[in-house]
A and B are shown apart, each in its own frame.
Chain A
Amino acid sequence: MELTLWTYEGPPHVGAIRVAASMRDVHLMLHSPQGDTYADLLFTMIEREGRRPPVTYTTFQARDLGSSTAEMVVNSLRESAERFKPQVLMVADSCTAELIQDQPGALALGADLPVPVIPLEMAAYTRKENWGAAETFYQLVRGLLSRQAPPPGSERPPRDANTRPSVNLLGPTKLGFRCRDDVVEIERLLNSMGVDVNVVAPLGASPQDLQAIPKADANVNLCPEVSDLTCSWLARTFGMPTISTIPMGWGATRDFIAEVAATLDLDINVDAVGESRLPWYSRSIDSTYLTGKRVFVFADGSHAIAAARVARDEMGFEVVGLGTYSRERARDVRAAAKEYGLEALITDNYLEVEAKVQELQPEMVLGTQMERHIAKRLGIPCAVISTPAHVQDYPARYSPQMGFEGANVLFDTWVHPLIMGLEEHLLHMFRDDFEFNDSVGPSHLGSEGEGARAQDTSSGHQADDGAVVWAFEAEKELKKIPFFVRGKARRNTERFAVEHGLTTIEVDTLYDAKAHFSN
């Protein structure tokens, strides 16, 4: 039993629904009680989908247990096949159904339905949403393609010299982070290299489209959380190479281009494929103030690893913490963290993440919706880079994270919550001006930066933990520090005082602490 306040991922069957909702002409029959239908709103509200996900829930009740639940499964299957006429019907248990063991997959296979059936095992008590999406996608692809598989060990015929090279983009789904725009951006990038996109899946694909997967020369493992399993099966079974660089950030996009070229044996000049404004924006003098900003990164595996690289190499930040909630990606994130001299934080307990942020006192947090709240509470600027995300992170505008345009978007989104460079100086310069009210703050900062000031309203003389007291003069001195670092100065000084066994904070304590923390 595990005490959970907020969860980063839903249960595995929500992953199955994500795959179904991403596709055309599939239907999912989920054996579940009525409450589980809340999953619909993830799609219709958060992603603003104009249709219910293609799911039929059996919605059994207590009175059905032990007598008619199996019958409900068969009826729901028949009705779904009849009403929606899908090309493929997937069948799964939710957590409760797993306990009553009706084996809906077996029932479906025995029910002589007029449609191919793919049974799914969702392991509700050990696994989570991303795993469920990966497993569903894999079962679907395997179920549809294994009959086409060449005999083991056979050579893949070389590409006909007259056909354009092509790849599949695998992994993007509904409720993924900016998948809709990333697909457009990467497709554009590949086209400009003379590479066609054969199939994009699950997003927008039908089962019939999936049948065409082996026609491409390689698979791009665009969202490993969802497509890793499928890519390795396609590599094993069809000898299709996997392109695994995730093109997020300027450098990674160039690496991706190089990997595509090498895999498809193309002669391509990376500089000629496209460009991003990120390198120049980052070199322009206004960005000097970004130097060494301490950032904490926490996300799904792919976004965490990619963001850390962009943060250090392309923005000039210092990565002071790196972690993921995804246990499946723990190994990769640990390896990445080593490169930054860090120990990765692998947890799906949001309180642990909060404690870590509090301890590290970063100047910026790159995280999920959860970290947005943590950062807000602690008065630290934050940008959302990964799921779980809220409705505002499914924007109307084109806003990819991948490719060259994605790099532009990352620059803008990450810089926005921070104080503009020149402005930082102006704030210093004018902060004693009687007309300048520093509680107003910079006008471009909306609610994200708000916390810095909200935090500071606790101008009582007693520190939060009650152990140390601020002397009047010290408190006055503290007020002279610009508001956007005042909260941090307060916390650092209090921490310093506690660590040094002081009970009163004098002006000197403030400066001792400043000296202590600045090295």
Chain B
Amino acid sequence: MSSVIASSVGEHHPGPQTQERGQRAVFCGLTSIIWLHRRIQDAFFLVVGSRTCAHLIQSAAGVMIFAEPRFATAILGERDLAGMADCHEELDRVVSELIARRSGINRLFLVGSCPSEVIKLDLETAAAKLQVKHENRVRISAFSGSGIETTFTQGEDQCLKSTVAELPALGASEDNLIVLGTVSDIVEDQFRRLFDELDIKNVHFYPGRKAGDLPAVGKGTRVIAAQPFVGETARALIESGAELISAPFPLGAEGSKAWFEAAAEAYGVDSERTQQVLEMPYQRAKRAVSVHRSKLEGKRIHFLPDSQLEIPMARFLSEECGLSVNEIGTPFHDQLMMRGELARLPQDVPMVEGQDLDPALARVRAARPDLTVCGMGIANALESEGLRTKWSIELVFSPVQGFDQAGDLAGLFAKPLAREEILEVGSWS
């Protein structure tokens, strides 16, 4: 995490900014496996960890969505810890068992956890050894999703970064565009259609639907981020010669427009052409957002740190829905990734990086905002105190990017407020 925080790009939020250290209430990076395994359909994620790790993924996924999921945990036992069993041999056995069982798997990620890291189990070396054994059958690598190294959405960043070294080199005369960060299949299809119309060729979504869909990278590569939490991968791509397009994230009508415009500009697309292509979806998105505007306008919103989407969400809601932002809490502030966002944020919004749960909750209680965006563990506790909430995990699980999801996105925030108006039962306060 440290390399992210120590970003050198210097565009700062002009408003009040503080750092907090204390009790955090954010999941660890293992949680990313939930959307990664759905996105990359031939990949398997094997966490090397404890029963806690297995229980976390299962609980965050809402218990058993798939009968046999493409993730599992190799649970370390006493024998592994006491050195009675050789962890590498054990892992070898477990991986062979897994590969024999799942014939459709082309890619295996060994995912490090707190316990595996504390006992210094070197999963990268383990992956390299296993690769030799299973060469031609499945590609194996490792990344960390541990709670001591990563929060919630950073698991995806670590996962993608671990594959950057495998990317083929882009030919000297070629160029391509990498859309970085998981988007759902439907969003990918919509984006592809627009890129086609803009005549932007060689667009790769990373991660792709198949583990083998790896984009080439080199001097002619441009990267545009679809998600804010992929900063380390973006930096690794920059080191491989790519150029990062600075843009707000494709959230909302304005965000999506600015995002496509930035890509088009980088490609030298004629700006009239760009406007022509974007005009219809942009107007459609605005109409869809405006449906929810009456519910949202003038309301005060507060973000507790969770998914790393807090800053772009705050921007979308203040810019397009007329909400005022009480506070933006974010697990960490990656200035490189946020540089397309900050200028669009209201100047006076207090931003808090990191977390100290109880004082942060005390601020929510004191401010009594109309809506608080927070993790699932906290939402009902605030609701019972008469505070409306939106749980942030939905912002990562459901398709919210792009023009045609802008209305849905506004709807996610409008729904709890609409519900309050409808219900004639009990009391929320």
Q: Chain A: residues with CB nearer than 8 A to chain B?
A: 1-7, 9-11, 13-14, 33-42, 44-45, 48-52, 56-63, 65, 76, 79, 83, 94-96, 99-100, 124-126, 128, 369-370, 373-374, 377, 388, 390
Contact = CB atoms under 8 A, between A and B. Distances in A.
Interface string B105-116: 000000000110
Contacts of A4: 51, 54, 72-75
A72 to B, nearest CB: 9
B367 interface: no
A34 B24 contact: yes
B73 A65 contact: no
Contacts of A59: 22-24, 147
Contacts of B290: none
Given A3-B72, A33-B28, A33-B114, A49 B380 contact: yes
B148 A11 contact: no
A59 B146 CA distance: 12
A128 B51 contact: yes
A79 B384 CA distance: 24
A65 B81 contact: no
Nearest to A49: B380
A1 B375 CA distance: 31
A3 B51 CA distance: 11
A42 B59 contact: yes
Given A35-B31, A44-B379, A128-B51, 6 more contacts: A1-B85, A1-B91, A37-B25, A50-B383, A94-B52, A369-B63
A54 to B, nearest CB: 11
B377 interface: yes
B424 interface: no
B93 A1 contact: yes
17 contacts: A3-B75, A3-B94, A4-B51, A4-B54, A4-B72, A5-B72, A7-B55, A35-B27, A35-B31, A35-B147, A38-B377, A45-B380, A50-B383, A57-B24, A99-B118, A125-B50, A374-B67
Of listed B2, B48, B76, residue having the most chain A CB within 10 A: B76
Nearest to B89: A1
B124 interface: no
A56 B98 CA distance: 37
A126 B81 CA distance: 11
Nearest to A42: B59
Contacts of A42: 59
Interface in B54-110: 54-56, 58-60, 62-64, 67-69, 72-78, 80-81, 85, 87, 90-91, 93-94, 97-98
A10 B50 contact: no
B148 A40 contact: no
Contacts of B77: 1-2, 125-126
B81 A62 contact: no
Contact of B30 (A35, A41, A95): A35
Given A40-B377, A125-B76, A35 B56 contact: yes
A369 to B, nearest CB: 6
B75 A1 contact: yes
B148 A33 contact: yes
B132 interface: no
A390 B379 CA distance: 18
A390 B55 CA distance: 14
B337 to A, nearest CB: 20
Nearest to B69: A5
Interface size bracket, B side: 35 or more
Interface of B: 1-2, 22-31, 48, 50-56, 58-60, 62-64, 67-69, 72-78, 80-81, 85, 87, 90-91, 93-94, 97-98, 114-115, 117-119, 146-149, 151, 358, 375-381, 383-384
Contacts of A3: 72-75, 94, 97-98
A389 to B, nearest CB: 9
A100 B118 CA distance: 7
Q: Which 10 A-B pairs have the closest CB atoms?
A: A35-B28, A40-B377, A50-B384, A35-B147, A33-B147, A1-B90, A95-B50, A96-B114, A44-B380, A10-B55
A389 B382 CA distance: 24
A11 B94 CA distance: 21
A321 B75 CA distance: 28
A52 B50 contact: no
Given A1-B74, A1-B76, A11-B52, A44 B28 contact: no
Given A3-B74, A6-B58, A50-B384, A44 B376 contact: yes
A100 B63 CA distance: 30
B156 to A, nearest CB: 15
A33 B29 CA distance: 12
Given A1-B75, A4-B73, A62 B149 contact: yes
A39 B52 CA distance: 9
Of listed A38, A56, A99, residue having the most chain B CB within 10 A: A38
B51 A65 contact: no
A6 B355 CA distance: 31
B49 to A, nearest CB: 8
Contacts of A2: 74-75, 77
A97 to B, nearest CB: 9
A95 B27 contact: no
B87 A1 contact: yes
A124 B148 CA distance: 18
Contact of B56 (A13, A36, A57): A36
A96 B55 contact: no
B115 A14 contact: no
Nearest to A378: B67
A62 B51 contact: no
Contacts of A124: 50-52
Contacts of B149: 61-62
B384 A51 contact: yes
B55 A33 contact: no
B228 to A, nearest CB: 19
Contacts of B377: 37-41, 44-45, 52
Nearest to A60: B148
Contacts of B58: 6-7
A37 B358 contact: no
Given A1-B93, A35-B30, A125-B78, A52 B378 contact: yes
